Chains A and B, each alone.
Chain A
């Protein structure tokens, strides 16, 4: 009996050591490496994407992405948001484009339900491998906008007034650059994207 228990203990210990080693080898996913103090992934918020899948902030760690906030029934700027993101893409090499994710979060989760988000993905022909449309819980919208520095308010006619920044996050969720005026390719922003994509994951 004792020997069996001893054997089990050794196996348990070995598996711990092995998983730890694996963890160290891929520090971005390591549970031991804490998030940097300015990482927005510290926000305890979970989004739902266009397929209804839950996406926690923490789970986004490990890949650089550009994040912005929109609402689907916007007629003027929000289409420009997607066009501007595509314009940034056009400045990147194919492998850079592949390693960058694009996340559009709804300001109006009451109207932007999962089916509505899915419809927008299809209409704009956005590839789910590199684009995500998501909605937060209504009580989380203000917090997410606050960490991103995005201003918004809903008007009497249900339209939104909001600042339309594109925000570049590195693999650790830190804000690295902002593009604040849509419709033109901001060279500094593109350079920042390339720089972030060139970085190796660090603990």
Chain B
């Protein structure tokens, strides 16, 4: 009778092992959703006037990167730990609210979006996940959607809702990801949670005096120069552009996090 018992013991251990590894895999599973190729009206026309923007099919992270995920990243990649990173790649505010160089600590939650990260850090994280930062057009396309529509931007009431976030002071505790309404694509938190880095934020060449519109100093800028921002009634998008254009790649600040995108395996038609 002893042999079958031993066999059962081995079998149950094997099952337990499989279950644990499955759970471990689940913990590493990050949800990306497919965003089909599109042509759409943009606040930053590619011809500087009124042309539409175009994006190929890509996959976007359903939620911003969290404290928990970023903690795993810095534990595996020592060169991105606070205290190790060169000033060139992250300024003095890098992960400032974290309790330790590699731990966000008890007063922050694993589910909150990670903030106080620079563009270089965000880029490095995305690459570690086989991804990259979204371009402004990719981000803008997905942000235009609400729960029912691909493009809710002409709805004045929707625009007011988007503006609400800016009315709330920043000293409120940051909510966890995945709590604000899922939009039509299945992407959460495009509004109302944090600002997000984009890959080409240095291409948002609006004049720092935002009242100069389309009147560039041609010796400072090659090409069409500073871009006039369209969509002037959409204050929420204007504020996003203003914030992104105020940053440099090494900057970190509260309220600024990021998410990643991946290419699709299919070719764009």
Q: Are A and B close enough to touch in the complex, i.e. CB under 8 Å? A: yes
Residues of A at under 8 Å CB distance from B? Answer: 35, 37-40, 42-43, 70, 74, 76-78, 80, 142-143, 145-147, 149-157, 159-164, 180-183
Q: Is the CB of B220 within 8 A of A164?
A: yes
Asked if B249 lies at the interface with its beta carbon under 8 angstroms from chain A, I say yes
**Considering the chains assembled together, what is the distance between the CA atoms of A35 and B86 in angstroms?**
10
Q: Are B219 and A183 in contact (CB under 8 A)?
A: yes
Question: B223's contact among A40, A43, A155, A181, by CB below 8 Å, is which?
Answer: A155
Contact yes or no, B88 A160, CB < 8 A: no
Q: Are A182 and B248 in contact (CB under 8 A)?
A: no
Q: Is the CB of A146 within 8 A of B119?
A: yes
Say yes or no: A145 contacts B202, CB within 8 Å. Answer: yes
Give the Cβ gap from A131 to chain B, nearest Cβ, in Å: 19
For A160, list chain B residues within 8 Å (CB).
222-223
Closest chain-A Cβ to B44's Cβ sits at a distance in Å of 8
Q: Is the CB of A163 within 8 A of B119?
A: no
Give the Cβ gap from B25 to chain A, nearest Cβ, in Å: 29
B interface residue numbers (CB < 8 A to A): 46-48, 51, 86-89, 119-120, 123, 199-200, 202-205, 217-225, 227, 248-249
Roughly how many angstroms separate A58 CA and B77 CA in the complex, as a whole number? 21
Q: How far is the CB of B265 from chain A (nearest CB, A)?
A: 19
Residue in A39, A147, A163 whose CB lies within 8 Å of B205:
A163
A43 CB contacts on chain B under 8 angstroms: 88
Given contacts A78-B222, A142-B200, A160-B223, contact A37 B46 (CB under 8 A): no
Structural contact, A163 and B86, CB atoms closer than 8 A:
no
Are the CB atoms of A77 and B222 closer together than 8 Å? yes
Report chain A residues within 8 Å CB of B219.
77, 80, 164, 181-183
Q: Is the Cβ of B221 less than 8 Å from the Cβ of A161?
A: yes
Chain A residues whose C-beta falls within 8 Å of the C-beta of B218 in the assembled complex: 76-77
A74: B residues at CB distance < 8 A: 222-223
Task: Report the Cα distance A150→B205, complex, angstroms.
Answer: 10
Residue of B nearest to A184 (CB): B219
With A37-B88, A161-B205, A183-B219 already in contact, the answer to whether A155 and B48 are too (CB < 8 A) is yes
B38 to chain A, nearest CB (A): 16
Task: Kindly provide the distance from the CB of A45 to the nearest chain B CB, expressed in whole angstroms.
Answer: 12
B82 to A: closest C-beta gap in Å: 14
Q: Which residues of A contact B86 (CB under 8 A)?
A: 35, 37-38, 42
Residues B120 and A151 in contact, CB atoms below 8 Å apart: no
* Closest chain A residue to B119, Cβ basis: A146
Q: Which of chain B's residues has its CB closest to A145's CB? A: B202
Asked if A152 and B202 make an inter-chain contact with CB atoms under 8 angstroms apart, the answer reads yes
Q: Which of A39, A163, A181 contacts B88 (CB 8 A)?
A: A39
Knowing A38-B87, A77-B222 are in contact, say whether A151-B47 is a contact too (CB < 8 A): no
Partner of A147, one of B200, B204, B220, B249: B249
> When A37-B88, A161-B222, A161-B225 are in contact, do A146 and B249 touch as well, CB less than 8 Å?
yes
CB distance from A20 to the nearest CB of B (A): 25
A162 to B203 Cα, complex, angstroms: 8
CA distance A157 to B249 in the complex (A): 27
Besides A35-B86, A37-B86, A153-B205, 4 new A-B residue pairs in contact (Cβ under 8 A), listed by A number = A77-B223, A155-B46, A155-B48, A182-B219
In angstroms, how far is the closest chain B Cβ from the Cβ of A69? 10
Contact for A161 among B51, B89, B223, CB less than 8 A = B223
Docked CA distance A40–B88 (Å): 7
